[in-house]
Structure 1
Amino acid sequence: MSLRAVHKRYLREFIPAMSAYVMLILLYGVLMPRTESLPLRVLLAVLPLLPIMLVIRAIVRVIRDQDELERRIDLEAIAIAAMATGFGYFSFGFLLNAGIGLKVAPAAVAIWVMPCLFGTFGLAKLLVARRYRSHE
């Protein structure tokens, strides 16, 4: 199965941006504990956000340029992922407030929201696409 031009462009945009993100997040992990200067700490914290903005741009562009069925599948998957991720974090917050014994730093929780959203989107897309294929 050959990729359409819109999906080739997506991969050309997504792979370098995600590779840059991985490199910057590794750099963040190594340098942040060793950095005392607040401006440098802020710079280290913000740098990984730049390639994520490019990833988001690639996702929006591929959705915009897909055919109607692909767009519908992606938008349904995004809705499912947003609700599932939001519900999961909402529930986790209530459980933490109930004192379930976990000691989790708020920053550790917050930093995982977007990766969880992206991962949930991938799973939801597989399920939604499978449902549409079974109706063909």
Structure 2
Amino acid sequence: MRPIHRRYLREFFTAMGAYVVLIVLYGALAPRLPTSSWRFVLAIAPLLPVTGVIRAVVRLIRDEDELERRIDLEAFAIAAMVTGFGFFSYGLLLSVGAFPAPPAFLVAILVMPGLFGSYGLARWAVSRRYART
């Protein structure tokens, strides 16, 4: 594994660990707090480690070679389109009552994890395609 990938994994897992801790605290404490500025702070606290994940991804792509950048660009394009299509389709189906409507905040919260997950799958698929050629 190249040093840039080790750095990425270290930064990514550190940020994700902090995210998990903060999102669990948010889930456990937010319902118990009265409406206050502390509740607001608790709600936005998980965004800080997410910016660390974004920073790690940007640094990785900046330092990759041309082929790795191409793979990431294709994977991001696929992930963005799949995620957008999925949420758009879900919204259309919700509009005709095909599913019981979840709270809007829940749908909004799932966009970023959906994008990250679809990027991971797309990157795996694109990498396999380039490995065969």
SS in 1 for 2:100: coil
Question: Which residue type is aligned with residue 89 of structure 2?
Answer: S
In the other structure, the counterpart of 1:79 is: 77
* C-alpha distance in structure 2 between counterparts of 1:37 and 1:104, whole Å: 22
Structure 1: give runs of 5+ residues left out of the alignment: none
Specify the alignment match of 2:115 in structure 1. 117
Question: Quick one: structure 1 residues 118 and 101, their matched pair in 2 at CA, closer, same or farther if it must change by over 3 Å?
Answer: closer
Q: Which runs of 4+ in 1 moved over 2 A?
A: none
1:46 is aligned, of 44, 47, 51, to: 44
Could you tell me which residue of structure 2 aligns to residue 29 of structure 1? 27
TM-score by length of 2: 0.97
SS in 2 for 1:82: helix
Alignment of 1:1-136 (within 5 A): 3-135=1-133
What CA distance in whole angstroms lies between the structure 1 residues aligned with 2:95 and 2:121?
Answer: 29
RMSD of equivalent CA atoms = 0.8
User: Offset at 1:99?
Assistant: 1.0
The offset of 1:9, in angstroms, is 1.1
Shift of residue 103 of structure 1? 2.2
Is the partner of 2:97 in helix, strand or coil? coil
2:48 and 2:2 mapped to 1: Cα distance?
27
Shift of 1:15: 1.1
Once the two structures are TM-superposed, the CA of residue 105 in structure 1 deviates from its matched residue by 0.8
Q: Kindly tell me the number of residue pairs found equivalent between the two proteins.
A: 133
Q: 2:93, 2:99 within 8 Å by CA — same for their partners in 1?
A: no
What displacement does 1:37 show? 3.2
Shift of 1:30: 0.2
Counterpart of 1:42, as a letter, is F
